[in-house]
Structure 1
């Protein structure tokens, strides 16, 4: 009885940590969207990495896990770094061009893409239920990208779709790299690659900062670091199958923060399509948890 109660408490804490992490990531995106209005996408992406790097190093030092950042496959880290730089720059462009809720609605298609990519790249088996959910999810994408909503041809939509594809490839690569690399290594080299790569790209179009940018840079660094910590703690307390659905609460914060800062309200088409995509993502997560339970070895009673 005590063990069951303790497990329930861990799951409850994990859900709370996940909800707070999603909120902090939304604040981070608000900061990037604000800075992207007058800074280049390269420069904003650089600050995303540079403001987080000190916090990552501080966390590694406090946990005495600096030694765990030693990479086993530098080539894969380099490939992941290039993909991460590309999708983050495209993400910044999307946040600049589209309302926050519209951008999130496109990004929510990532679990659909990851499910499809996991078959040829990782050799995972996807059953009829998840394939059906992916098909329904892409119908939701078409609904929110129809000409009456966002349209297919705008810079924001194209960059959002490309960012989603890039993010999906990066996450597939992370799944594969987890076989040999530590979480500390993956986190450190991700932030380092953003800082160095985007910093070099930003040199050609560097814009001077103003005093008014400093609070937004502070928000960018602090919210990103806190979000990463909360996300780590959430997955330490509860299984991914429980937590993944709560990532979609980001739409609530996108609607609220988008209206507060920019008076943005998405169309009914965007909301309807986002609901279909979210429902598909939740169902895919549900089927994934069932598959993992079925693959667990049977234990003696």
Structure 2
């Protein structure tokens, strides 16, 4: 589950009065996810198929999800649902989006792929207007257009700084992830985030197990360490994302998600020797600014609706 999906799925939580704890936990979540993607990239360099990385990521997260359900006040009865068609759709789109995002990390430098992933709120707002017929004012439309300008700056169509195929995969991942947020928004009317995550794992693990059996194989110790890192830091990221939503509201902690670019840049330089190009330094602030403005407008709209 990505940070964007978690923010959309999260219902109001009582006790969200520890903003500093929420911010610190969210920063830790972004660091965990950045490390997970680094392990995905390292595993990919060892010839590990994307579906195998996905399998170990989901498999490792499952015990954590079960533990969180067991520790919750409602317990196991809370996972009952009458929205299994939506859960199936969310699972199909979700694993497709995660696969594209994992693949993009193997094709592009971490900072480049991370920057393109920041377009999810832009696409989600666009889809909400076109598909859900939500009212989008001139301010948010302007933010969407500015965000796409930032994308053009980053990928530079016709240029050679970023591989075109890798950029296309990353953009496709952002598009599908944005569609996932719409399904999660519909599920969020009746389902808690932990229930949505539980059924996502239940419905995706069997298919991923088959893919891992087909495409997987014997690995050396170093590769198994990489796959273990994918699972551990993926589960840790999921846990800290969920916990951050208990400490503080989405509007407080969402800006911390953009720290992922800082972590990706540092890891990219230290581990892979990849320095971000000029287009990233120019385009990333435009995309981030657009996403932050959209998040702020969503907060304003929600506050007005509450009043």
Q: CA RMSD in A?
A: 1.8
Match of 2:276 in 1: 266
Match of 2:44 in 1: 36
- For the 8 Å contact 2:17–2:248, the answer to whether it is kept is no
After superposing the two structures, state which structure 1 stretch, 8-17 or 277-286, moved more. Answer: 8-17
After superposing the two structures, state which structure 1 stretch, 83-92 or 274-283, moved more. Answer: 83-92
- For the 8 Å contact 1:106–1:161, the answer to whether it is kept is yes
Cα distance in 2 for residues equivalent to 1:214 and 1:57: 24
- For the 8 Å contact 1:36–1:92, the answer to whether it is kept is no
Cα distance in 2 for residues equivalent to 1:163 and 1:101: 15
What number of residue pairs does the alignment pair up?
Answer: 290
1:148 aligns with 2:130: no
Cα distance in 2 for residues equivalent to 1:235 and 1:150: 37
Following superposition, the deviation at residue 177 of structure 1 comes to 0.6
- For the 8 Å contact 1:51–1:217, the answer to whether it is kept is no
After superposing the two structures, state which structure 1 stretch, 185-194 or 74-83, moved more. Answer: 185-194
Following superposition, the deviation at residue 264 of structure 1 comes to 0.7
Following superposition, the deviation at residue 227 of structure 1 comes to 1.6
Following superposition, the deviation at residue 189 of structure 1 comes to 1.5
After superposing the two structures, state which structure 1 stretch, 251-260 or 226-235, moved more. Answer: 226-235
Please point out which of 181, 185, 188 is paired with 1:175: 185
Match of 1:205 in 2: 215
Please point out which of 164, 171, 183 is paired with 1:161: 171
Please point out which of 246, 268, 272 is paired with 2:256: 246
- For the 8 Å contact 1:134–1:280, the answer to whether it is kept is yes
1:63 aligns with 2:72: yes
| TM-score normalised by the chain length of structure 2 | 0.89
Structure 1 pair 272/208, CA: closer, same or farther in 2 (3 Å)? Answer: same
Q: Which runs of 5+ in 1 are unaligned?
A: 1-6
- For the 8 Å contact 1:26–1:253, the answer to whether it is kept is yes
Match of 1:20 in 2: 28
Please point out which of 119, 122, 144 is paired with 1:112: 122
Following superposition, the deviation at residue 294 of structure 1 comes to 1.9
Following superposition, the deviation at residue 276 of structure 1 comes to 0.6
Following superposition, the deviation at residue 214 of structure 1 comes to 3.1
Following superposition, the deviation at residue 225 of structure 1 comes to 1.9
Cα distance in 2 for residues equivalent to 1:150 and 1:112: 24
Please point out which of 167, 187, 191 is paired with 2:197: 187
CA-to-aligned-CA distance 1:179-213 (integer Å, 9 cap, x gap): 12222220112223332222223333222222223
- For the 8 Å contact 1:149–1:270, the answer to whether it is kept is no
- For the 8 Å contact 2:53–2:227, the answer to whether it is kept is no
CA-to-aligned-CA distance 1:80-126 (integer Å, 9 cap, x gap): 11111211111121111100001001101111001111123333221
CA-to-aligned-CA distance 1:128-182 (integer Å, 9 cap, x gap): 111101100000001111133645x732111111111111111111011111222
CA-to-aligned-CA distance 1:48-76 (integer Å, 9 cap, x gap): 11121122222222336222122221111
- For the 8 Å contact 1:143–1:273, the answer to whether it is kept is yes
